[in-house]
Structures are given as structure tokens and as C-alpha cells.
Structure 1
Amino acid sequence: MDPSVLSPPAIPPVPVVLVHLEECRAARAGHEVGTLRELARQIAELKGTGVAGEFDPTLTCAAHPYLIPDHTLTLTEAHRLGVRSVRDLFGGVVPFPFVATKLIAHPLTEDAQVAPPGWSRLFGEHTASLVLPGYSAFSHDDACNAARRLWRDGPVRIKRPSGIGGAGQSLVANMDELETELAALGEAALRTEGIVVERNLDPIETLSVGQVTLDELVVSYYGVQHLTMNNHGHRVYGGTDLIAVRGGFDMLARLDLTSDINEAIRKARAFDAAVQNDYAGFFASRCNYDVAWGTDAQGARQCGVLEQSWRVGGATGAEIGALRTFRADPLAYAVSASTREIYGDDVQLPDGASIVYQGVDPHAGAITKYYTVDRHILQGSADR
């Protein structure tokens, strides 16, 4: 008899988990890097291994690396780092850098003169009903033309493509104000980075819709973000409350949800599908889409995807908490999980809190980040 017949099947080697720093490289002592390292440790624990440190291209790994990068990778970076699929990283891979930014949440105007290499006009057609009214632009003239179209219905909001938490935005009501914003950016940067010109909504509410994949486990969720006061007296991101389910986006639809939440989930799912269809090479094991509702100057209600994140984010602690729950309890299909970011020294942690970061950041000051999980199984049925 062939001895190989009696041999047990080969067990894939446990990957070595590595943190890959690029955007946070200059702030190795800050809370962002500290948070990334702790989240990486907890992800490695879920995978049954440990964190081997930071990725070093000059060293050869004994095992296949599983990367946790601080930014969305491009295909070029992914190939260089050995990332081939969602099983190789916690994050995402895009064919061109602009795909990872807010820019793809809006089309170019029909008569736009400038577009970056790889821009998909077809994607803009597929997502027109899924996003808020607005345009992306890569030149002074294209930005002005986009603003003129939107000014017919009130003020417009100018957004830098990589702004986080409301940073890099301004409200412009006329050409003089727009010219000031464009001059501050500069034509060269405008052609390289682009800009978003979007109809202003006031008031506005935002819901997050996301999905994470870790090995064989898929978790999908929706969540509400909260603001808090930082050590400098500014209102900033303060955490997210998630409702997470075992499985894909279709499992969220089986919960008893309001029409607004169902609409947000539907638009996020369709946006995600359009990215996969229209930008070849894209894949992600961590997706998060911000969907907004608001009222424009004409009193019309608008709902659409604002932006996307395919990297570790503010809600990742809660995502890990949900992954842990579903891994530990095969019967659980829906849980609630929350993250919190609290500034200052006097922090009272709730029972069962898992700390993600606690320390004094050189710029942000004293800050504590943690997450909690409510193991209560929500009403409804996964078989409904």
C-alpha cells in the first residue's frame, strides 16, 4: 500500500502576524501605533499565534506572514509584501491609491477634463443612486464646474480626499470662497490628490456598515458613531456601538431593523459590490462604509455612502470583540459590541472592558481606548 494513503492531511502552517507601519512610522510612541500593536496582538491571539513584530523587508519569515497594515495597500505594495488574498491581511488592497479615499464616492462631471489613471467612470454610473449629490475633481476648472452645478441647491462642502473625522473640510457658498480653498491646495496637488465637491447637508446623521473576515469566520455589522471632547476642547471621534451578526451582509437583513437602517445597509452592500466589480484587483478582509442621512438647503432628504475604510479603524476593537464571541460560542449569531475613546486621566472602566490603549500621547495627551461586548443574543432568528 502506498504509505501516503495512511498519512494525515498536511496542516497549513500558522502564519506569523506582523504589523506594517507606513503612515504611522514617524509616530511610533503615539496612541495610533500603540493601538495598532495591541489590536494586532488580539488578532494574533484569535488566530492562535503571536505578533512577531514589525514587517521588515530585509528579513525572511519562517512562516507565511499575516499583515496588519496601518493603511490600505495598493496592489503594487501587496505583491511586494506577499499579500495575495483576504487570508493574508487585516485590511484591504486597491488597484490605485485614489480608490482608498473619499474620491470614489462621487463621479467626475460629464465634461471633466482631468482624471487619474485607472479612474472608472462606469463605477460612478453604478453608484450614482448610492451616494450623496456631489462630484470629484482633479483640476481647478473641473472643481469650479462641479461647484456651479451644486450651488443651484445651496452651499457645497469641499473635502480633502484623505481627511478623517471631519478634518480637511470647509463650507463654500460662492466662487471667492472656493477660489481660496483651491489656492490653498494648489493646482499640482489638486491634480495629484483630487478634491470632493459635495452638496451640504444639515443636520446630518451617520451610520457605519461593515464586515470583517478572519480565517473561516465572517462577521457583518451596522453601528452608530459617538463624539467626545478631547484634551484640547475639540469634539472628536469617541467610539462606535455595533450590532454584529455571524455571516455576510444578507444576515443583517434578517434582523428586525428600521427602514433607515435597512436603506443604509442596502446602499453599503451595493457600493461594496460595485467596487469589487469595477476596480479589478480589489479585495478586503475589513470593510467599513459610512452612510449618511441629511437634509439639503431645499429641504430634500438625502441618503448615501460618504466614504469607505479598508484598514484598521476606530470600530476594530468592537469587531474583534464580536469575532471572539462568535468563535467561542457557535450558537451565537448576533451580539452588540462597543468601542470608546476617552480623554483625560480620570477614566472609570466598565466591567469586562478590554483595553486597547491607555497612556499619554505626545500630542493628544492622556487617552484610554477600550471595547465591551454584550453577549446577549438579540431578538430574531438566523434561520428566518
Structure 2
Amino acid sequence: MPPKTGVVLLPATPPPPSHEQASHRVIATMLAEVLGIGFLGDYPPQDRRALYFVPTDTLIGDESKALGITGINDLFGGAVGHPFMATKAITHGLLTAGTTAPAGWCSLFAEQVHGAVLTGFTVFDVEDALNAGCLLLELGDIRLKPVRGKAGRGQVMIRNRKALERYLADVDRAELAVWGLVLEENLTSVVTCSVGQVRVADLIVSYYGTQRLTHDNNGEEVYGGSDLTLVRGDYESLDRLPLDDRARLAVKQAKSYESAACYAYPSLFASRRNYDVAQGTDSRGHFRSGVLEQSWRIGGASGAEVLALRAFAGDAALQCVVACTLETYGESELPHDATLLFQGHDEDVGFINKCARILAYDCAQ
């Protein structure tokens, strides 16, 4: 394989909000530093050089082949065969074996990942959604999750059939048929854990951590950043950390989810793998833990991931760092030692501040 000549961003269509574009540009610049090559900006169409891509979103279908992306050494992110594979839609099984499903759907995944996810269903049809929702409501409150929503936006908690019917009356059926909708048991007192791994050049970094919530400029509770412990090496290196029982469970469930996805969908490849694991209390007062979704693309924790990659690349003896990302809304002062990802007014969310920083080195020792 020829050496890469530069790092390029590959924006989605339509392009993401300006705060994400700016953040991705900073992260891509740091990745270029790790790789020892230049950052070239947005991908010039028809450029035939050997490039390293940073896509805005997971690549779907023939997108990767058309760009010459054939494996994890070609991109920071991932590629999948079908749209539903790029979202949280793959997390749950269908209501019944004969339920409406898109081309490429593999029921084997849901069978293999049982025990690593919460109770729920994925549907691609309004009637299936109503039947699945009514079944779940017998267990307690449920959460409806549009699969392309980010930062927790767009999710709705449903308590009864009438509320479910009102929600489904407004669903775009064409969108539903392609991308799907997730219906899942609702948890309270939730802690969302992040488990993941990134592979860039000859570096492998694995991590565990937790997410923080904040309120956006409209008062909605949304993603506010992640606190991560990142280690050099594969998941086995992460297993050697002195994790508590719940953290260890989250890591185990994420590994199970990833293994099942790779087995059921062999066309999948990803150099950036992130899994959100929710731990909280169900409607019956029981502790529950399960993977909510995967992210095989640049994401909210990527600023911390790439800071760690850069630290490991610069010090061969370094084995562990603690890093974080921070997202706040409204004008505020950021930590002086942080790497600024974005600060300013965004056309979609208003004034937002985004940064990443390393908090500690050699944390495993």
C-alpha cells in the first residue's frame, strides 16, 4: 500500500453544522500530526493521491470503494454495507421474524448481542412500531429514538398507547422504511458510559469513561462531554485497569456488541469504534445496563481520543492518559490548557463552546 500523502476531510451531504465542521477540522489537523503528513482540507473530488480520510459520517454502501478506501488504515471512522448499520437501528431485533426489514438485515446480530443491550425493538413500519410499543409498555415507560438523532436530541419518553399513537401519526414513513426507529425500555438515574477504541497507523488506543450532560440554549438536556481513561493497546490493556464492577460490565457489554456486529455484518470495518452503554434503573426498580448504540465515525469524544493518540505517538513509554471533552452553551470561559475545537455562534444550536484536554499522564501506574 502506498504511503499516505495527506489527511482530508470528507463532509457529508448535507454538511454538518458549523460547530461540527470546525471541530472536525481541528481533529483532522491533529491526526495529520500523528501520521506525520499534512492536512489538506476538504477532499478534492477525483483526487487520485493516496489520502487518509476523515469522513463526517459513517460511509455506506459503495461510498468507500469509490474513494479507494478499503480498510482501517485509510480513514478515521468506518464503512458499512447498508444505512441501518450506521445507526443505533442495529442494536435491537425485529418484533417477529416476518416483520418488515430492509435489505441486508441480519437477525443473527440481535441473537448474539442479547444480554449486552436493553430490552427493545427496531422497526421500519408504523404498524410494527405500534405493536412493538404496546408490547414494551406492558413493562413500563419506553423511549422512542429517531436513529439519526445526535447528542440525545429528538428522543421522546412514552407512557401510554395514546401518546405512542400521537407520535407515530407524525412519522415520515419513507424515512422510517430506510433508517428505522428504535423503541426501548426507559431508564432513570442513568449514567452513560463510553467504551471504545481507535486505530491510527501503528497505534491502538482503548478507553473507558463516562459522559456528562448539559443544557443547550433552549434548555434541553444534551451531551456535554466525556471523561475518559485511555490506554495504549487493545481491549486487553483496558481489562487490566482497576475498574469497578459496573465499569467492567460496560466494557464487557461493549466488547460483546462489537464482536457480534463484526460477525453478523462482515462488510463492516472501522478504525474508530465507540459504544454508549446506559446504566440505570428500570420501571420496576431494577438495575439495568446495556449498549445503546455504536459510533463508527468521528464523534463527541474524538477530541480526547486524538489528544491521547498524539501523546502516545510522542512518548513510546507512555501507557495511559486521562482526557476529556467539554461542550457548554452560552458564552463562558474555557480551561486555559484546553485544545479549542470551537467557540462561537452556530446556526443550529446558538453559542457553543467545545474543547478537549489531557488531565493526567501515566494513570495506570
Shorter-chain TM-score tier: over 0.9
Which of 34, 57, 60 aligns to 2:47? It is 60
Q: Quick check: 2:229–2:322 contact (8 Å CA) kept in 1?
A: yes
Paired position in structure 1 for 2:238 = 252
**Relative to structure 2, which stretch is displaced further, 262-271 or 153-162?**
153-162
Paired position in structure 2 for 1:168 = 154
Q: Please report how far the alpha carbon of residue 370 of structure 1 lies from its aligned counterpart in structure 2 after TM superposition.
A: 1.6
Q: Please report how far the alpha carbon of residue 20 of structure 1 lies from its aligned counterpart in structure 2 after TM superposition.
A: 0.5
Q: Does 2:145 match 1:159?
A: yes
Paired position in structure 2 for 1:218 = 204
Q: 1:208 to 1:252 in 2, by over 3 A?
A: same
Q: 1:366 to 1:176 in 2, by over 3 A?
A: closer
Paired position in structure 2 for 1:299 = 285
Which of 135, 139, 143 aligns to 2:129? It is 143
- TM-align CA RMSD: 1.7
Paired position in structure 2 for 1:49 = 37
Q: Quick check: 2:33–2:310 contact (8 Å CA) kept in 1?
A: no
Q: Does 2:4 match 1:14?
A: yes
Cα distance in 2 between the residues matched to 1:41 and 1:245 = 22
Task: Return the TM-score normalized by structure 2.
Answer: 0.95
Partner of 1:203: helix, strand, or coil? strand
Paired position in structure 2 for 1:355 = 340
**Relative to structure 2, which stretch is displaced further, 95-104 or 189-198?**
189-198
Q: Does 2:349 match 1:364?
A: yes
Q: Does 2:2 match 1:33?
A: no
Q: Quick check: 1:112–1:137 contact (8 Å CA) kept in 2?
A: no
**Relative to structure 2, which stretch is displaced further, 189-198 or 297-306?**
189-198
Q: 1:248 to 1:37 in 2, by over 3 A?
A: same
Q: Please report how far the alpha carbon of residue 24 of structure 1 lies from its aligned counterpart in structure 2 after TM superposition.
A: 5.1
Cα distance in 2 between the residues matched to 1:201 and 1:329 = 42
Q: Quick check: 1:16–1:65 contact (8 Å CA) kept in 2?
A: yes
Q: Please report how far the alpha carbon of residue 230 of structure 1 lies from its aligned counterpart in structure 2 after TM superposition.
A: 3.1
Q: Quick check: 1:139–1:191 contact (8 Å CA) kept in 2?
A: yes
Deviations 1:344-371 (A, max 9, x none): 3341423x32222233323433333221
The one-letter code of the counterpart of 1:165 is A
Which of 317, 324, 336 aligns to 2:322? It is 336
**Relative to structure 2, which stretch is displaced further, 215-224 or 109-118?**
109-118
Partner of 2:237: helix, strand, or coil? helix
Q: Quick check: 2:329–2:353 contact (8 Å CA) kept in 1?
A: yes
Cα distance in 1 between the residues matched to 2:16 and 2:275 = 28
Q: Which runs of 5+ in 1 are unaligned?
A: 1-10
Paired position in structure 2 for 1:94 = 80
Cα distance in 2 between the residues matched to 1:155 and 1:234 = 20
Partner of 2:361: helix, strand, or coil? coil
Cα distance in 2 between the residues matched to 1:326 and 1:50 = 19
Cα distance in 2 between the residues matched to 1:156 and 1:365 = 30
How many aligned positions are there?
365
Q: 1:282 to 1:75 in 2, by over 3 A?
A: same
Q: Please report how far the alpha carbon of residue 109 of structure 1 lies from its aligned counterpart in structure 2 after TM superposition.
A: 1.6
**Relative to structure 2, which stretch is displaced further, 239-248 or 290-299?**
290-299
Q: Quick check: 1:226–1:237 contact (8 Å CA) kept in 2?
A: yes
**Relative to structure 2, which stretch is displaced further, 201-210 or 229-238?**
229-238
Q: Which runs of 5+ in 2 are unaligned?
A: none
Paired position in structure 1 for 2:305 = 319
Q: Quick check: 1:95–1:280 contact (8 Å CA) kept in 2?
A: no
Cα distance in 1 between the residues matched to 2:194 and 2:348 = 27
Q: Please report how far the alpha carbon of residue 159 of structure 1 lies from its aligned counterpart in structure 2 after TM superposition.
A: 1.1
Q: Please report how far the alpha carbon of residue 282 of structure 1 lies from its aligned counterpart in structure 2 after TM superposition.
A: 0.3
Cα distance in 2 between the residues matched to 1:187 and 1:369 = 35
Cα distance in 2 between the residues matched to 1:39 and 1:247 = 21
Paired position in structure 1 for 2:178 = 192
Q: Does 2:191 match 1:201?
A: no
**Relative to structure 2, which stretch is displaced further, 217-226 or 138-147?**
138-147
Partner of 1:242: helix, strand, or coil? strand
Partner of 1:185: helix, strand, or coil? coil
Deviations 1:113-170 (A, max 9, x none): 2011000001110011110001111112221221222122112111111111221211
